[in-house]
Amino acid sequence: MLGVLIASEILSISVWLDAEVLRGQGALANAVHQWGAWSVRLGVAIILGSLIFAEARAKNSLQRISDECGSYGIGWRLVAAHVGALIMFVALSEILFHHRASSNALVVAWGITGLAWLIFAACAIVPAQVWIEIFRCTGDAWVYGLAGALVACTLGILAQKLWVPLSHWTLSVVAMMLHPFVSVLLVDPSTMTIGTPGFQVVIAPECSGYEGMGLMLAFSSAWLWFFRRQWRFPQALLLLPAGVALIWIANAARIAALLLIGNAGAERIAAGGFHSQAGWIAFNVVAIGTCVLARRIPALVHGGVPEEKAANPTAPYLMPFLAILAAAMISRAASAGFEWLYPLRVVAAAGTLWYFRRSYRDLDWRFGWFGAGAGLLVFAIWMGLEPRASSGAPAALLEASGAARISWITLRIIGAVLLVPIAEELAFRGFLLRRLASSDFESVGWRTFAWAPFLISSAAFGILHGERWLAGTIAGAVFALAQLRRGRIGDAIIAHSVANALVAAWVLIGGDWKLW
């Protein structure tokens, strides 16, 4: 909770403020411009590094505190102090960054207020005595944390210098991949342009694979850490450079495939859906493939290759939803503005639900009028938060034959009203809501309520809906309450289904196609 709170607030403030305006505005203000961001990164890295190196000692001490003090709640007075400090910090930021009043006293007050804002938040969620015990038991771990932080920040600075050479290496690899398939290949290193006489692209630094390499490095590091007891170290560390190299090669293959698609005459697909989705497809393939294959290498795993275990209880709840996401990425990658392959989602969801059908026998699929009413409420809230401007049906759908149009709309309704509600409720209410309450989620009752799982699962459901995150969060909360009322997942599903059915009717009757 503390991490989510502080990260969201810092992200919002960093988007709002631009340190560039402090350049040359005074001694301390200019220091904030030059070193502010790196100071925050260094501080976060030191704290995380210290806690990582002192994990065992901290865990033992905190267990003792937990036994002595029992459970503790949120300190609401400190929450109020946190909000007050945040308001003051925002007010001083407005003066410092937007009105350019950059006296040294103002910068000092701004820094103290920001520090108070963070301290109040930390002590509101985790009592001060716990923080004192954490810092006491970490001992000299802060030295290792400082060393790791300095190395990380130094590598971050050096890594920025790799953007340009990495782009040129990517250009060369893409050219090598294309030579067997293209008779006339145009390559201009000065402008980073590559392609054929009929279709060309520019490899910008963002397309060099650097971002994917960073994402893969973060994913692999977190994965090795969370499952560290399974791996042989230092051998397992070889997975880090291997994953980075694979994702870079996959990115080059993505660019080569984009050029081949465009050269074949499908320029809109290449520059549209494929360009936006192929990167995520490549990352998922490399990340999941690395996870699966690495466990098959005896030299990396303690005790050799693990034997196959019993069926994973998580799979029936998550796989239908993940199948829809995978199908969505593929169908969007093959689209040129209009997603004609949406039926692929229907097939993926239906096939996965059918595969796990025996796992759903013990679920309570019954529903009542309360669930249907909850769906009606969600529809009303959703439409109330929707912008008034409407949009007509896509031109591609209007220009299609009657049979194609009717078939697509029918499958779109089946997906939205029947399959998507089942898949998403199994994932968010059946699994996530209970998993946040206990690692043994199957032991959590379907009527068990706790604020943190309720709020986090609802927020996650809202984030899934992108720019409609607020409406999605409220909808997730209502669906959760529908289930918790009688402990029946059927009530959550019918609420979701009714809401989606009403949205579908609004689209087809009212013509507001932006909702689809």
pLDDT tens figures, 232-277: 888 888 999 999 999 999 999 999 999 999 999 889 899 888 988 9
More confident of the two residues 99 and 265: 265
Q: According to the model, what pLDDT value does residue 506 have?
A: 94
Flag whether pLDDT at 103 surpasses 90.
Answer: no
Query: 194: which strand partners?
Result: 187, 201
pLDDT tens figures, 152-170: 777 777 777 777 888 899 9
Helices (H) and strands (E) in the chain, counts: 22, 3
More confident of the two residues 133 and 325: 325
pLDDT band at 503 (very low <50, low <70, confident <90, very high): very high
Q: According to the model, what pLDDT value does residue 163 have?
A: 78
Lowest mean pLDDT among 56-70, 131-145, 280-294, 327-341: 56-70
**Are the C-beta atoms of residues 192 and 203 closer than 8 Å to each other?**
yes
Flag whether pLDDT at 38 surpasses 60.
Answer: yes
H helices present in 400-468, as ranges = 402-414, 420-425, 433-435, 451-464
**Pick from 419, 244, 420, 254: which is nearest to 333 by CA?**
254
Flag whether pLDDT at 124 surpasses 70.
Answer: yes
Flag whether pLDDT at 511 surpasses 90.
Answer: no
What mean pLDDT comes out for the span 92-97? 84
**Are the C-beta atoms of residues 476 and 436 closer than 8 Å to each other?**
no
**Pick from 114, 122, 86: which is nearest to 3 by CA?**
122
Q: According to the model, what pLDDT value does residue 226 have?
A: 85
Flag whether pLDDT at 171 surpasses 90.
Answer: yes
**Pick from 512, 332, 342, 480: which is nearest to 419 by CA?**
342
% of the chain surpassing 90 pLDDT: 48
Distance CA 325, CA 281 (A): 10
Q: According to the model, what pLDDT value does residue 67 have?
A: 65
Instruction: Write down the pTM of the prediction.
Output: 0.73
Q: According to the model, what pLDDT value does residue 504 have?
A: 95
Q: Where on the phi/psi map is residue 466: left (φ > 0), alpha (ψ -120 to 50), or beta?
A: left
Q: According to the model, what pLDDT value does residue 434 have?
A: 95
**Are the C-beta atoms of residues 475 and 499 closer than 8 Å to each other?**
yes
pLDDT tens figures, 318-362: 999 999 999 999 999 998 888 999 999 999 999 999 999 999 999
Cα 420 from chain centroid (whole Å) = 20
pLDDT tens figures, 45-86: 777 766 666 666 666 666 666 666 556 677 888 889 999 998
**Pick from 177, 117, 144, 186: which is nearest to 48 by CA?**
144
Q: What is the end-to-end Cα distance of the chain in Å, rounded?
A: 33
Q: According to the model, what pLDDT value does residue 178 have?
A: 94
pLDDT tens figures, 381-416: 999 998 877 778 888 898 999 999 999 999 999 999
pLDDT tens figures, 207-239: 888 888 888 988 998 888 888 888 888 888 899
What mean pLDDT comes out for the span 438-450? 91
Q: According to the model, what pLDDT value does residue 42 have?
A: 76
Distance CA 428, CA 423 (A): 9
